Amino acid sequence: MTMIASKSNTDALYLLHEGTQYQSYQFLGAHLEERDGCKGVNFAVWAPNAKQVNVSGSFNGWDGTHHAMTMQEGIWTLFIPELEEGTLYKYEIVTLDGDRYLKADPYAFQTEVRPETASIIASLDNYDWQDEDWLANNTSNQHLQQPLLIYEVHLGSWKRKEDGGFYSYVELADELVDYVHERGYTHIELMPLAEHPLDSSWGYQVTSYYSVTSRYGSPKDFMYFVDRCHQKGIGVIMDWVPAHFCKDAHGLSRFDGSPLYEYADSRKGENPTWGTYIFDYGKPEVISYLISNALFWMDMYHVDGLRVDAVYSLLTLNFNRPEEEYIRNEQGGEEHLEGIAFLQKLNAVVFSRYPNVLMIAEDSSAYPGVTTPVEYGGLGFNYKWNLAFTSDTLEYMKKNQSERVGQEDRLTRSLLGTSDENYVLPYSHDEMNYPSKSLLGKMSGEDNWQRFANLRVLYTYMMGHPGKKLLFMGTEFGQMDDWNSEDSLVWGLLRNEEHQQFAEFVKRMNHFYIAEKALWELDFESNGFTSLVADEKEDGLVTLLRKSKTNNEQLIIISNFKPETHEGYRLGVMEPGRYREVFNSDKLEFGGSGITNDHSLETQEWFCQGYPQSISVNIPPLAAVIVKYMPTEG
């Protein structure tokens, strides 16, 4: 008995070959079934160019000739009775040239822990989800007007056991989730968890797109992790890698003896810089595979969004290609027309089924309309990482004080395009790994005090800058060393007072951000912020006014990027009345010098910086002060 035995299955295959089958994982792969009273497993795999495909595994001594599959419409199928969950298997591919090799199942739900590579029969059914309240409350499509504060995590190195072993999904579901919740983050972003053979790839070179990595436990263990996040009010974003896949022999590469998942033309089908293959976005079955996979993580694991890696590489045919090797599309341009069409289709389909998820583009290009809806000609993401903000601000912060003169535009030019896209401001893992140094390690300064002060003012400035926020693990307590994916974060630093104080600062800043609507409600509206220009262009001050939707909440964020104190600094303000300091990165408990504004700040009719009234503010060195307008009641 084969899979193609009913009209519904025939229709499913038709959609697969049309590129519109968005739940192909429901019938391709290995599925526990009962047929005519006999329990077993139905196997189905797409391999149209193979001469023969067999099922090989621990149940037949890895001799696939005992279990030959039959093919119809490019799909090979076989039902094998009496197989159970946990059984190891692969597909034995016989090519047209007579070569014979074993391949992992492209749709496997579970895979052996590396270096082993066999697929594992697994059921994703019957997990008792407890996140009903989260799902019920996550129905308003207003996330652009909500706080988004993301903690980016590599699960394998957030914390290690004493013997160097990994914490499991279940263990992390308690320790990591509580940690993130206490510090005020709204979401955890997980670096890729699809199964990958090489730890040092961090998950960005995948072999099994439907297998959550077994490094940290089983599929249902991961369900428990997501479930626990939701019960704590934390969303889960996962990095997703549809741009390329690794060449390991057991994976997707040359799957049926031919370039099946990748382009046949090596100029389009290989990324020489990364040593990987590029998906063939012109092939309908590949589109079905990838879009089904994006939805799979939402359908089966309740993931709340995907951060799509390396989007730029899907937008141009000449990504990382020397100019002498440039290729052109059929219209004569460099645009990767099939890659662009895939991204648009991906987002259109995802939002048609999950209108409230996060689809975030990691895109370093200047391609316009990344977060413009597809129906208006855009790519259709709802967020894009603002990598220019990251690069510019860090380049400024690396400079010594004498080198910062005239460089203030590195801090402010990102303010000119805040409404161009819906931005996330990321200080991500890319800025923390060798040899780029940790975030604290990048800060200039004559001593540790100045370095921590620089990081505090930078972090507060980021919180005041329009756009959602992302911070990589370890940055929140000031890890000095580069991030090492093969070891734990240096938690012992928290025994040091400086790091304790910085951790307390980040925690307090996070909770302040969540509590203040003015910092996030109008992130992408032109009336949501104003840059208040100082009298002296080179005084190291950047001042922003942020407003809430109803305009009854206003915050002024004054960031001082120089080590000079400004006592009684005259600051022009829009609204006459009373202001109050509500946050100060220079507080003693944060490790600062303790220069604050403890008194009420009343406006005076003193024309300043283009405004008819102003207030007098004490601004500490290398610090940010946030003052709030206090409207008169009644």
Our measurement of the distance from residue 201's CA atom to the centroid of its chain's CA atoms, rounded to an integer in Å, reads: 16
Task: Return the H-helix or E-strand segment holding 461.
Answer: helix 448-464
Token pair for residue 617?
């503010």
Our measurement of the distance from residue 182's CA atom to the centroid of its chain's CA atoms, rounded to an integer in Å, reads: 21
C-alpha closest to that of 269 among 240, 289, 247: 247
CB distance 476 to 431 below 8 Å: no
Terminal CA-CA length for the chain: 78
Q: What Rg, from alpha-carbon coordinates, does the chain have?
A: 27
The owner of tokens 């990382």 is 320
Token pair for residue 245?
């896949």
448-464 and 387-398 helices cross at what angle (nearest 10)? Answer: 150
CB distance 40 to 49 below 8 Å: no
C-alpha closest to that of 80 among 99, 97, 111, 56: 56
C-alpha closest to that of 203 among 162, 151, 167, 244: 244
The owner of tokens 């994703």 is 124
CA distance 84 to 121: 7
Backbone angles phi, psi at 346, to 5 degrees: -55, -55
CB distance 491 to 499 below 8 Å: no
Residues 6+ apart with CB under 8 A from 9: 3, 27
Tell me the three-class secondary structure of 493-516, residue by residue.
HHHCHHHHHHHHHHHHHHHHHHHC
Helices then strands, counting H and E runs in the chain, come out as 15, 30
Length of the chain: 634
Catalytic positions are 309, 362
CA distance 609 to 626: 18
